[in-house]
Amino acid sequence: MNELEAYYNKFNEEKRLNSRHGQVEFFVTMHYLNQYLQGIESRVDSRAAIKILDVGAGTGRYAIPLSEAGYDVTAVEPVHHNLGIMRMNAPKLKAFEGKAQRLRRFADNSFDVVLLFGPMYHLKDEKDRQQTMLEAKRVLKPGGLLFISYIMNEYSVLLYGFRDRHILEAMKGGQVDEAFKCTELANPLYHYVRLEDIYAQSEAAGFERVKILSQDGPANHMRRELNAMDEDEFEVFKQYQLAVCERSELLGAGCHTLDVLRK
């Protein structure tokens, strides 16, 4: 068992996804997924003709509802524990154990959409991140879309550095540099980025940017406040985040950023 598997065997991914801050992330992400999938659907015979590859699918948060909606979904997940939960919850879903850097079981130009909603969180090596981008590009059809999610640097610095008062020890220990950028020492499992890192990653892989947005915005910073809201207030907060998620002045401050790219 590697470090990532050990982490997810203990970490309750289902609880995070069902939390209110997780619901905001899911709500905004699904809005954009549905928007672009409907655009593809208008050009093909049926939803079943649209092929989606969910790489790093976790417990199936996106793969399962997309499959239930009628799309042809294939899921790949490296953590056996997560894969077991996904197969239990959706026994008919095509789900395989595998790594994002090696998608050899899939042919070139075979998917309309590829999702990378987990791999870039955990790939610490630049070569692995670049190989993952290139593999996604290889299996995408010409004009196909890549949805890729990142964990942002400022989220970590503001919450775990300043809010939880670890910033001085983090800077002294080399986890955060003088420019307040998290180094690879910051967390053994997570890789944190800024917008310039995202732009460099997609440019090096030769993708065209369609859109970039913050799925959760301040939601992770406001967990206590979100939990205190009644249902009507929370619904308005979700609509607020959807309304402002593309605003350039707000990008990068949330926990997650979604990059939508075209091959």
By C-alpha distance, which of 145, 160, 190, 139 is closest to 37?
Answer: 145
SS3 percent helix, strand, coil of the chain, rounded to 5, is: 50, 20, 30
Return phi, psi of residue 261, to 5°: -125, 155
Spell out, as residue ranges, where the chain has pLDDT lower than 70.
1-16
Residue 13 inside a domain? The answer is yes
Q: What is the pLDDT of residue 253?
A: 87
| Joined tokens for residue 59 | 């417990």
Residue with tokens 């967990």: 223
Interior CA angle at 135 toward 208 and 151, to 5°?
70
Domain residue limits at 26: 3-151+191-262
- Cβ atoms of 99 and 78 closer than 8 Å: yes
Both tokens of 133, joined, read 């981008």
What is the SS3 assignment for 54? strand
Q: What is the C-alpha separation between 162 and 168, in angstroms, rounded?
A: 9
pTM of the model: 0.93
Which class for 82: exposed (0-12), middle (13-18), buried (19 or more C-beta within 10 A)? buried
Quick: pLDDT tens for 16-75.
Answer: 678 999 999 999 999 999 999 999 999 998 999 999 999 999 999 999 999 999 999 999
Tell me whether residue 158 is in a domain. no
Q: Tell me the C-alpha distance between 195 and 27, whole Å.
A: 22
Does residue 115 fall inside a structural domain? Answer: yes
In a domain, 177, yes or no: no
| Residue 184 domain-assigned (yes or no) | no
Cβ(50)–Cβ(73) under 8 Å?
Answer: no
Structural domain includes residue 168: no
Closest C-alpha to 131, from 142, 120, 141? 120
| Residue 162 placed within a domain | no
Q: Hey, what are 101's tokens?
A: 């850097």
**Residue 162 DSSP one-character state:** I
Total tally of structural domains belonging to the chain: 1
Q: Which pLDDT does position 18 carry in this prediction?
A: 81
Within-domain flag for 25: yes
User: Any residues with CB less than 8 A from the CB of 127 and at least 6 apart, and which?
Assistant: none
CATH of residue 232's domain is 3.40.50.150
* Residue 202: per-residue pLDDT: 97
pLDDT of residue 1: 53
